[in-house]
Structure 1
């Protein structure tokens, strides 16, 4: 009986130390999620009228909601592909014995450590067609100016997102590269494999877990993107950058329909969970161990 009492004592002590964190997450995470789910079943200015599943049915049949999901899906695909390709390319470059690579890592990480609001305002001032720094430089060089925020605006905010986040992705891939045993590459060199074949046959497969993590995080952040559309383009031109969270924000705070916006938020949460589960299962099937 004494070991059981002792283990119970350890368990009570552990739960006691975990209690502040549990209360913190319950108050700031789980309770708000529960409140959003409950609000999704209600309607009215104060979300005080029970409406059942009508908000969800309306969201599934609403063309504007479907359009925002489509825009967000394209944006997320651009962010995922860009994060993997650019992050891996920069990691491969910095992994070489070059001078100043530490300073280069720091410079690439600075945008990631900067808030989305500051990054959005910075690039809005750079890309503004009338007063933007980039067009002023083009004028000084005698080149024609461009409507940066009107031509391919979704690609523009995706590029800004990648500019901000690629440093973090690079660090993840760099950690993965440094975790690959050098003996694998040495053995491949002895067998006559060139650098390109070593990359495809050794480096890329062994970076599978890192690539999976990067893709999952990029999908989640891409589907939850808001600040880029709100600050840089305002959802425009038209509804070209009407990302889902931005659309939900407009429904909640401009039309004051909190029940309908909550239903859309729950649907977005389900989409994120579904994509995450699919990616994790696909990644486990192709996981490489060493």
Structure 2
């Protein structure tokens, strides 16, 4: 029996990512996320000797992070790595040194974002590109990321946001309602950028930041969009999805609605992808702290009176 708390069929997601990886299709969303995350990281003037890269479907991110002397551990979701994954115990130190359990410059292993196989306070930096939006327990995954960070370690990640594929959701929903009198789950319930700061704080991460960027991609039609999603391993993996094949009639009607509502003058249709970028630090005594309640030296009323402009003519 399936747990009612499960949203995604994680094993299916891994199989589809594996198939997409073998197909060799370029994931433009992942490339955009990696480019932005690397740019953000370059603005932080600090060394991160030990880095874990969590769940990205491509080794490209780890390759970008692999500077000289930096230890990189890539925890990959791809099933194809399972047979050849190094059998190394990452749950405890060997000889009292974290680095002694890792070969340099990089190690790839299979793992799950919902059960990180690392001991506490192991890494200076944890990064994740477009994987956390498919976990069943996002707050729990963030808590685990906080756990494996050293004091004053940084988490930097990107996940899809709630505005992603809003056009596809609308067109499929309208077509199903028109033809069958109801809708079935087809597009994942992505995170909301407004809630991510609170989730980071709830996970115990200090100085949380969350912002979003929208990426609009144009396609010939809805079928070209769905082909791209399939090539990226990003098709429907919801536990509550309808298991029987959908009719051709449904998709033809959805294509008509999509074209009517979301096409440009040249006939091409738009698809929105929202990228949510998040960051937070493992607490450390050196970090800036909020003022204690009641520690203000001036009343709000006095501050507002001081800022009030003088009367005209004065």
- Give the TM-score of the pair, scaled to structure 1: 0.23
Point out which structure has higher relative CO (alpha carbons under 8 A, 6+ apart): 1
**Structure richer in helix, relative to its length:** 1
